[in-house]
Amino acid sequence: MKTEGQAKVYEAQRQHMVDHQLRARGVHDERVLAAFAKVPREEFVPEDLRPAAYEDRALPIGYGQTISQPYMVAVMLEMLDVHSDHTVLEVGAGSGYQAALLSLLAKQVYAIEIIEPLAHRARATLAALGYTNVTVLCADGTLGYEPGAPYDRIIVAAACPELPPPLVAQLKEGGRIVAPVGRRGVQECVVGVKRGEELEITKTLGCVFVPLVGAYGWKRRAW
Ligand code: SAH
């Protein structure tokens, strides 16, 4: 439990993050910024790391995984261009933080996490904070999630060798997918827009994510 004083400190740190790490560095989407100003990131990191919750970096969440850097999440969410009537699929739910942001931007969110204890914890955190339009699933997200398809938007929060074909198949016509594509240490954030059978690809900034595993992910030796 947080005291009222602690809650105020986190709130001030959160607003500082929005102003200095996001807005000042070129994130302009007001809906994205408002979501960052609302979601308590400290609730999604291990208790001993809470004092570092609003530093602009990825933090360990256990099982060799991380909660992504806020700036990178903001840039990717801006590129994703989520509308309030959208159904969104997130692959790599991790702590559930990005799913919480997405829940404020979209109508319905499906968030898939392959590591069971992380999926459980993300589900519990999101429920405790009252994010009711997010469904957390424990499965291989490279296969997508057919019952929720087709999706207006898909975001992948782990480094892919290539865009997983099932995700492209589960995207709506005109829908958009944002994913880091590349290998250890050298990924590019890719934006794909579905136009019939084609995917219109734009490569954007460089980024560093943990590997996507599973059927269309990295095999341990190749990564
Ligand atoms: N979005 C998360 C951070 C993601 S870290 C957050 O806001 O905290 C990337 C996550 O992707 C890790 O938790 C990892 O276990 C998960 N992951 C890797 N491969 C996956 C797959 N095939 N399906 C679902 N999740 C996967």
Residue 220, pLDDT score: 87
Query: What's the distance, CA 31 to chain centroid?
Result: 16
| Nearest atom in ligand 1 to 210's CA | 9
Digit-coded pLDDT (tens) for 81-118 = 999 999 999 999 999 999 999 999 999 999 999 999 99
Ligand 1 touching residue 166 (CB < 6 A): no
Q: Which domains does the chain have, with CATH numbers?
A: 4-207 (3.40.50.150)
pLDDT class for 221, splitting at 50, 70, 90? confident
Residue 2, pLDDT score: 80
DSSP state for residue 83 in the 8-state scheme: -
Annotated active-site residue 68? The verdict is: yes
3-state SS assignment for residue 188:
strand
| Nearest atom in ligand 1 to 115's CA | 15
CA distance 121 to 109: 17
Q: Which of 77-81, 157-161, 196-200 has the lowest mean pLDDT?
A: 196-200
Residue whose CA is at the smallest distance from ligand 1 atom 2: 94
Digit-coded pLDDT (tens) for 8-20 = 999 999 999 999 9
Residue whose CA is at the smallest distance from ligand 1 atom 17: 92
CA distance 208 to 56: 14
